[in-house]
Every structure is written in C-alpha cells, then in structure tokens.
Amino acid sequence: MSPRTIVITGASDGIGAAAARRLAAAGDRVAVVGRNPRKVEAVAADTGADPFVADFSRLGDVHRLAHQLSRTYERIDVLANNAGAIAHEHRLTEDGHELTLQVNHLAPFLLTNLLLAKLVTSRASVIATSSAAARVGRIDLADPGLEKGWSMWHAYADSKLMNLLFTRALHRHHALDGLSAAAFHPGVVASSFGAGATGATRWFYSSRFGQRVMATPDRGADTLVWLATGRPPRDWAPGNFFIKRRPHR
C-alpha cells in the first residue's frame, strides 16, 4: 500500500506531536501544522514530516495554509483538526471573533471547507479533537461569541460541542461522497493546553499532582492514531464521537 498523506493541526506538541511521530514511524507522509515555527520545525525534523506554520487566531493564516496544502499534496487521506486553545479572558481576534470560538471551531471549519473538494476526491477521513466538555455546551446562536455571560469554560465547552455538530454535519452531507468524519475525546492530557488558563486550571496543569494523574500525550493520541489508521466503516463507524476507541453519545 502506498503511503497516505495525513495532515495534523496543533502538531507542534502534545497529542498532535505524539500522533505525528507514531504515524510517520508507520510510513505515512505527515504534515505537521502549528503556530510556533521553532516547535513545528523540531517535530518535523524528528519525524521526517512536512512543516507548516499557521496561527488559527488569524483566518488569513488558514487561507494560506489551505493553499499551501492544496499545492503540495495531490491527495489528503486524513485531516486531523487537532489544534485547540482555552482563553483566560474574553478577547477578540483580528478577525473580530472570540478567541476560543475561532481557534477551536471557526478555523478548522474554514480549513475543512477550503480543502473539501480535495478531501472528497481523496475519500478522506476528517477527525476532530473534541472533548467530553461538549456535554455541558449550551450554544446561543444569537451570541456565539458570548459577549454576554462569557466564561473560560463556557466558551471552551461550546466550541467543543460545535466540533461535534460539525462532525455530524460532515457525515450527513458527505458520507455518500466517500468522506468519513469522526470526533474523539483524548482525555485529560499533560500538555501545554492549560497555559492559556488561569486559577485552578492553570495550577492543575502545571502541578506535580496534575502531571501524575493526567494521561501522557502518547496515550491521549491513541484514539486519534486509531481513527487515522482505521478504514471506515470497516474499523469505525463515521459520524460518531469516540472515547477510548468506543462510540459515546
């Protein structure tokens, strides 16, 4: 079988980098995407992957990334929308959107749609790194950026629910075109995720206690790697939300 092309956003560290290492070691051609050029280059050098720099807080970067990916690859077999963030304050991006909403949902939504024709032609899998926090998401379509009643975890949970809804929509609209979509919860992973948080969340992610009880990035990447290497619908049912390789409501 010829090597597949797998694009992983948020791959400069954490579960994205762990997944990139495992998939590249298995012989796939991997594109690692991140906002920090130094970290992206380090992961690329370590894995033999192709480096791409893009900051999802700038939608112009997403347009540029989509153009670069389309120009570089004849096909894309897997798009892993793994990049994510949690903001410690209500802040608007240069595009005018609440930061968590844009990085976690609007940017991957845009990237997927810009690449959609190539993804459909490739009969690709589109994988979203979501979270069990989606269960407490309560989206207000009149105020998706939470200009009223913003909180760090409310914004995060809403964005993760949006990831799930987008996954379902991709499945509903494009399954018959050959596109497969899935979302998954990686667990609570020891990574730089909590760097943008404050209070107890930041303490937990930086503390020795938190480091002991959280999953390693490699373990958190397990379901992502399983979805990326699997052949839907033989190995997993598209349109679902997975935790530890099992579908959940």
By annotation, the residues acting in catalysis are 156
Beta strands 78-81 and 5-9, pairing class: parallel
Only one residue has tokens 């979270």, namely 131
Rg (CA), the chain: 17
SS (H, E, C) the chain: CCCCEEEEECCCCHHHHHHHHHHHHCCCEEEEEECCHHHHHHHHHHHCCEEEECCCCCHHHHHHHHHHHHHHCCCCCEEEECCCCCCCCCCECCCCCEHHHHHHHHHHHHHHHHCHHHHHHHCCEEEEECCHHHHHCCCCCCCCCCCCCCCHHHHHHHHHHHHHHHHHHHHHHHHHHCCEEEEEECCCECCHHHHHCCHHHHHHHHCHHHHHHCECHHHHCHHHHHHHHCCCCCCCCCCCEEECCEEEC
Q: Which of 55, 89, 53 is nearest to 69 (CA)?
A: 53
